[in-house]
Structure 1
Amino acid sequence: MSHSFFAYIARMRYISRWGLMRNTDPENVQEHSHMVAVLAHALAVIRRDKFGGTIDPGHVAAVALYHDAPEIFTGDLPTPVKYANDTIQAAYKAVEANAAARLTAMLPPEMQPAFAALLSEPDPEVQTLVKAADKLSAHLKCLEELKAGNREFQSAAQQTLEALESYHLPELDYFLQEFLPAFSLTLDELPG
């Protein structure tokens, strides 16, 4: 029997993000998931190495890498729709849980527990870092679009920055202070 889990994961590149917005550079779920994993790993390293946390950055990165995998079946629902009200949000969470279970079932039985844990991480500390990285990735996308002259992302950039600031996470605040300014620079302006 052939298992299709990874063939489906590879299809994340066909799912477009920011469906309601005009993009100068389209982004897909696979690209987004990679960036979220990079950022979540960075936040976890900062938490561990600068602020004395005990979280495993590798585990956080793995959870982040698969955080949007259920969208293989659900598609990327725009944020204004997904969070329009509690009823829609709860229904979408149930649909995502069903999609995660469907994906997990596509693995050999001995691999299912490891991937089920990644697709529905129970640790709130890990969840918080992944959510912060997800929002940070969205903010970086907005900055890229604004750099390209696309004012369509102006409001989203402000909203995502306010959301990031509302987390009150020391590692996120540190990232915003130490690393975020470089994202507004051109290639020629980047030190290095």
Structure 2
Amino acid sequence: MKSNHFYAMLSRMKYINRWGLMRNTREENLSEHSLEVAFIAHALGVINNEIFGGTINAERLAILAMYHDVTEIITGDMPTPVKYYSPVIRNAYKEVEHVAKDEILTGLPLNLRKVYEPLLLETSKEEELWAYVKAADKISAYIKCIEEINTGNLDFSKAKESTYQAILKLDLKEANYFLEEYIPAYSLTLDESKNEEEDNN
């Protein structure tokens, strides 16, 4: 019997929790994180096209973002301080990611693998698009920090600041625009959001 386990493996993303070294008031799993990154990556593409007159494929950004952490189904979520602790660890982790990618792709017939392989790890062919996915990933992490701090969890204070600086360091005008225009709303309550919406009408 064929072992077509690729899509079944994807469904396991909901069992992989993020932020393993941090105290969380609400756990975040890989599945919901990937959807949020897809929303944000798509938004960055739309901002590029509609605000800055670019021609980026926003839909492709959304798809790359959906799959950007799929290898973590096998590797688990490696905390950033550990992943970047030293070049040796980072390079070793990259090798593990490649092995995980190959293992996940074995769950597809050969004629489908070519479609999914460029989605699971960054490629030089789509280097520009992956830069936007990376920005979206960091913005998602920044939003998580905001949400945790809003509940009184100060464990995320340093992570919030370092993540913000990491986003600025990317020097991506679309990411900076998103921070300025849309991030403030993440600190509003639902009632405050409704009132602001009414004021704008």
TM-score for both structures, normalised by structure 1: 0.97
How large is the RMSD of aligned CA atoms in angstroms? 1.0
Counterparts of 2:35 and 2:15 in 1: how far apart (Å)? 14
Offset of 1:53 from its aligned partner?
A: 2.0
Offset of 1:97 from its aligned partner?
A: 1.2
Which ranges of structure 2 fall in alignment gaps of 5 or more residues?
none
Alignment-derived partner of residue 147 in structure 1 = 150
Which has a greater percent of helix? 2
The reply to whether residue 181 of structure 1 matches residue 191 of structure 2 is no
Structure possessing the higher radius of gyration over alpha carbons: 2
Moved more, 31-40 or 97-106: 97-106
Alignment-derived partner of residue 68 in structure 1 = 69
TM-score for both structures, normalised by structure 2: 0.93
Deviation digits for residues 53-110 of structure 1 (CA, Å, limit 9, x no counterpart): 2221111110110000000100001000000011111110111111111111211221
Alignment-derived partner of residue 39 in structure 2 = 38
Are 2:83 and 2:90, in contact at CA under 8 Å, matched by a contact in 1?
Answer: yes
Counterparts of 1:21 and 1:35 in 2: how far apart (Å)? 20
Q: How many percent of aligned residue pairs carry the same amino acid?
A: 49
Alignment-derived partner of residue 166 in structure 2 = 163
Show the 5 A alignment for 1:122-133. Answer: 122=123, 123-133=126-136
Counterparts of 1:88 and 1:67 in 2: how far apart (Å)? 20
Which ranges of structure 1 fall in alignment gaps of 5 or more residues?
none
Q: Which amino acid aligns with 1:33?
A: S
Show the 5 A alignment for 1:92-111. Answer: 92-111=93-112
Q: Which amino acid aligns with 1:138?
A: A
Counterparts of 1:148 and 1:68 in 2: how far apart (Å)? 27
Counterparts of 1:90 and 1:31 in 2: how far apart (Å)? 27
Q: Which amino acid aligns with 2:190?
A: L
- 4+ residue segments displaced more than 2 Å: none
Offset of 1:119 from its aligned partner?
A: 1.1
